[in-house]
Structure 1
Amino acid sequence: MASQLETLVYLLLMVLNLVNGILDTSPLETITQWKLISYNFPPKSPTTDQSFYSPENILITGLAIGYDRIYVATPQLFSGVTATVSSIPKVGAGDNPVLEVFPDWSYAVAGRKDFNCSDLKLISVYRMRIDSCNRLWALDAGISRSLEDYEVTCPPKILVFDLATNRVVRRIDFPRQVLRGESLFTNLIIDETTSKAGTCDDVFVYISDTVEPAIVVYDSQQDVTWRVSHPSMYPDPDFAQSEILGDRFVLMDGVVGLTFDEKAGIAYYQPLATDRVFSITREVLRSGPIALTQLLPVKLVGKKSSQGITLGVSPIDGSLLFSPLSETAIASWNPTTGRQQTLATDQQRLQFVADLTTPRIENGALYMVSSKFHRFFLKNLNRNEYNNRILRIDLTGSTPSSLSPFIPTKPSTNYAFYSTNSIEKRPSVSSFVSNTAVTGNFFSSPNLSPFGYELFPKSSRNPFTALNPDEALQTKLTRQPSESSFLDNLPPVGYTYKRFTRSIGAEKNAMIN
């Protein structure tokens, strides 16, 4: 009996040592975290007014990493979001840091009606990016309460801030010809691959329109804008319902995940409501609108194990970075070598990763923002838990675990060029942690099955949700194995085909790598 007890104690100690080893060697670092978000309110702010400040409705969806500060985006998903862009110190913020409204309180519009859309205001920013000239590009969707009554407060725009002075150095307004009735601009890429060193005004910007699915392209040097669309940018009703640790929610988001491989010149994208990742080359996006009768040369990169909202590219080896929601993980796939890895798994800290960024000022660092979005959405938030986090992984030193190989397996309306007429220079107005592989594969072989249905129509009141909250959802449709899907049969990587240029009838070969 004593011998058996000693053996049991020894085994328990071994298990504890193993768990401690896993915890100590996890590559996932918590930079800061919040239970509920608060701001550096001015004196006499109406913080008891729910339309001005409702902490249960404020979550972070985007971040940008500066030299000494971290900038965060808190969009107006619900009422009571006081300000949409803020910052915190990069070092020493601790837990629950107070958000400092950026660039100052004159840009905030919560509870206000005394402003014009031509004013320097920020309505609702989902994501931001910092260029090589240390300027912050804030993409303002202009939509208030997008998950409630979806008010189109102002047209979308981009404000470019010089982070040395926190002043607006450029404003980009989008012409109405590239907008649709419920356009929601949620993500952006700044493509500087062919810009002249030190000038950051000859770039291309690629923008996701999530509700009216498309990618909007802005040529900064020519100051013109166009949009391109493809069925792959639309939500798939089979994947309208997402699940995180038993919480299920329905969200029919179109293209929202958007990232760019600068070395390969390839943009990757994904809707939230899909299990697929797609790609398109820089040359295709830059070549302007194509004929209405033609399709964009989009490629199916592969399939994931569950939905995801964000994508990134590793600066180390060009691997595609992503976060499958149901697996609460950060994973990568190298499109050149086919190597697939789990960088981190954490059921508490990685529940809903909304944004990834690899700042050029920290080569090899991957920052991400996670939240319990599903709890905000379902209105079952626990105020005593941490509900927003900023996390970091060192891509040069992490020891990810391997998964099974990633197996890789056409597009709608396009328009003419439109001038934005918007270059303006004006000053601003004043737990469980594991480094083991997640159960199941992140990717699978493409299924040869079609869409036997039309896309869900969007509600005129809330274009995100296709179903009433109490409606049952059949998450998977029954398809015949012999049937073939349009998206599953997109050309794989390396396929050469012909596409039309903006001169209708003119053809040229285009190789998508």
Structure 2
Amino acid sequence: MLALKSLILIAFLAYEASCLANLEEVFAWKELSFAWPNEETKNAAIKNGEYVPAHNLPLGLDRWKNKLFVTVPRWKSGVAASLGYVSLDEPINKTASVIPYPNWEANTLPKGDAKLEGDNHIVSVFRVAVDSCDRLWVLDTGLADILGDPKVLGSPAILIYDLNTDQLLKRYNLKHEDLKQDSFFANIIIDVDKNKCEEAFAYIPDLGGYGIVVYSLKDDDSWRFKHNYFHFDPLHGDFNVGGVNFQWTDGVFGLALGTPDQQGFRTVFFHPLASLNEFSVNSAVLRNKTLTSDPHIYYEFKLEGFKGDKSQTSASVFDQKSNTLFLTQLNKDGIACWNPKKALEPENVALFVSDKEKLIFTNDIKIDSDRNLWILSDKMPQFIYHELDGNQVNYRILKVKVDDAIAGTTCVG
């Protein structure tokens, strides 16, 4: 029996190693660098505190053609630009500098008591979304120096850019009734048919106010849903990541869109960050503003099931071809998958890759048009509660083909 157990362990470790070998490390930074206009501008920014290299932590990502977008929230002072991209043109420089998007001017904060002017300005972004209509959707929190001397420089807003021209198409400030006292928006998911680009919907989870805000591009209007399932689980807010123990109360956080049905509606999978459960609701509910005040819609939200112990998840993303939901696993330094054709039970959730160094705090994941799964890890707990070692690689972006990731797991079929 002991020999059999040893063989099983060896087989498991070999599988895990082979799966990790399929992960391509595309970018790796000790500290994030930026494509400054010139060295003099960079040195001046460092001298006056507008650029503190150690304070620039990449958090979100998405891909469009040869651009890999990267967000840098203004957790601390000295963030050079909150939204930018790195080039995917060959040969790729693994320590490439981030190019501000759409430009430096849009990412520059006003000095002193000066106010932000115009619509094309970006304060602090956590995540972005590229849609099938060649648009970049940006959720700007409007908050700067969150962990230091917090400043509210603007209302939470949605910005939509035309990626073919890099021009701002739309800025929409969330309405007062969309916000709660503890609202915090760190994600945005876009629901759109590429043949009906003007009928897009944005779903924005409020992790602090425990709600989901929906924005309709066609109606240029937004509304807010509330539900018990949006709240954190008080029994599962304890985290141990990268040697740091902390407790969070983050509610609804990750959203992922399933395959459209004949009417064009999708299953919207969601979860609070501090939870071990996955939930869902049909997008037909979220798209209908009149249902926000209907008490009967409570029962339209479903419990999909239990993901397993220590399965707290930040981001998630769905691959339609393989019918697979991918889920970050913060307490396990990895990524898992689940096929919704199977019951959501721990045995049907496959941790297909885990690494205690390269995948410390898998903050965001996305699937591009070539079905590459992109993964960003950034050691964020160390960044928030202690400080990062500038002599070590702290931030990584990796990728793997979706089919390679799920091969041999319970997520197939």
Into which bin does the TM-score normalised by the smaller protein fall?
A: 0.7 to 0.9
Change (3 A) 1:145 1:272: farther
Q: Which has the larger radius of gyration?
A: 1
Aligned partners of 1:60 and 1:75 also within 8 Å: yes
Matches within 5 A, 1:230-269: 230-263=227-260, 265-269=266-270
Matches within 5 A, 1:7-406: 22=17, 26-42=21-37, 43-45=40-42, 46-49=44-47, 51-91=49-89, 92-110=91-109, 112-113=111-112, 114-116=114-116, 118-193=118-193, 197=195, 199-263=196-260, 265-288=266-289, 289-291=291-293, 293-294=295-296, 296=298, 297-304=300-307, 305-306=309-310, 307-338=312-343, 339-359=348-368, 361-362=369-370, 364-398=371-405, 400=407, 402=409
Aligned partners of 1:213 and 1:229 also within 8 Å: yes
Secondary structure of 1:201 counterpart: helix
Secondary structure of 1:375 counterpart: helix
> Where do 5+ consecutive residues of structure 1 fail to align?
1-14, 406-513
Q: Name the aligned partner's letter for residue 358 of structure 2.
A: R
Q: Name the aligned partner's letter for residue 290 of structure 1.
A: T
Change (3 A) 1:51 1:192: same
Change (3 A) 1:379 1:292: same
Q: Name the aligned partner's letter for residue 233 of structure 2.
A: D
Q: Name the aligned partner's letter for residue 204 of structure 2.
A: I
Give deviations 1:85-109, integer Å, cap 9, x for gaps.
Answer: 0111113332221111111111123
Q: Name the aligned partner's letter for residue 60 of structure 1.
A: P
Secondary structure of 2:232 counterpart: coil
State the distance in 1 between where 2:162 and 2:46 align: 34
State the distance in 2 between where 1:64 and 1:22 align: 26
Of all paired residues, the percent bearing the same amino acid is: 28
Change (3 A) 1:372 1:176: same
Q: Name the aligned partner's letter for residue 84 of structure 2.
A: S
Q: Name the aligned partner's letter for residue 30 of structure 1.
A: E
State the distance in 2 between where 1:275 and 1:149 align: 33
Instruction: Name the counterpart of 2:5.
Output: none
Secondary structure of 1:355 counterpart: strand
Aligned partners of 1:52 and 1:110 also within 8 Å: no
What is the CA-CA distance between 1:40 and the residue it aligns to?
1.8
Matches within 5 A, 1:457-468: none
Tell me which moved more, 262-271 or 123-132.
262-271
Secondary structure of 1:94 counterpart: coil
Change (3 A) 1:258 1:112: farther
State the distance in 2 between where 1:287 and 1:262 align: 19
Question: What TM-score, normalized by structure 2, do the two folds share?
Answer: 0.86
State the distance in 2 between where 1:187 and 1:73 align: 11
CA RMSD, 1 decimal: 2.5
Aligned partners of 2:188 and 2:203 also within 8 Å: yes
Aligned partners of 1:217 and 1:227 also within 8 Å: yes
Give deviations 1:109-152, integer Å, cap 9, x for gaps.
Answer: 34734332644210111111112221111111112233344432
Higher relative helix content: 2
Tell me which moved more, 133-142 or 339-348.
339-348
What is the CA-CA distance between 1:180 and the residue it aligns to?
2.1
Secondary structure of 1:37 counterpart: coil
State the distance in 1 between where 2:322 and 2:14 align: 30
Aligned partners of 1:61 and 1:354 also within 8 Å: yes
Tell me which moved more, 214-223 or 238-247.
238-247
Aligned partners of 1:117 and 1:155 also within 8 Å: no
Q: Which has the higher contact order (CA 8 A, sep 6+)?
A: 1
State the distance in 2 between where 1:261 and 1:399 align: 17
What is the CA-CA distance between 1:24 and the residue it aligns to?
8.4
Secondary structure of 1:290 counterpart: helix
What is the CA-CA distance between 1:347 and the residue it aligns to?
1.5
Question: What TM-score, normalized by structure 1, do the two folds share?
Answer: 0.70
What is the CA-CA distance between 1:389 and the residue it aligns to?
1.1
> Where do 5+ consecutive residues of structure 2 fail to align?
1-9
What is the CA-CA distance between 1:262 and the residue it aligns to?
3.1
State the distance in 1 between where 2:149 and 2:181 align: 14
Aligned partners of 2:231 and 2:272 also within 8 Å: yes
What is the CA-CA distance between 1:367 and the residue it aligns to?
0.9
Instruction: Name the counterpart of 1:465.
Output: none
Secondary structure of 1:186 counterpart: coil
State the distance in 2 between where 1:80 and 1:349 align: 26
Aligned partners of 2:224 and 2:292 also within 8 Å: no
Q: Name the aligned partner's letter for residue 147 of structure 2.
A: L
Change (3 A) 1:395 1:20: closer
State the distance in 1 between where 2:329 and 2:208 align: 21
Give deviations 1:213-271, integer Å, cap 9, x for gaps.
Answer: 21101111122210001122122232222111432122222222111113351111122
Aligned partners of 2:72 and 2:81 also within 8 Å: yes
What is the CA-CA distance between 1:295 and the residue it aligns to?
5.2
Secondary structure of 1:385 counterpart: coil
Secondary structure of 1:136 counterpart: strand
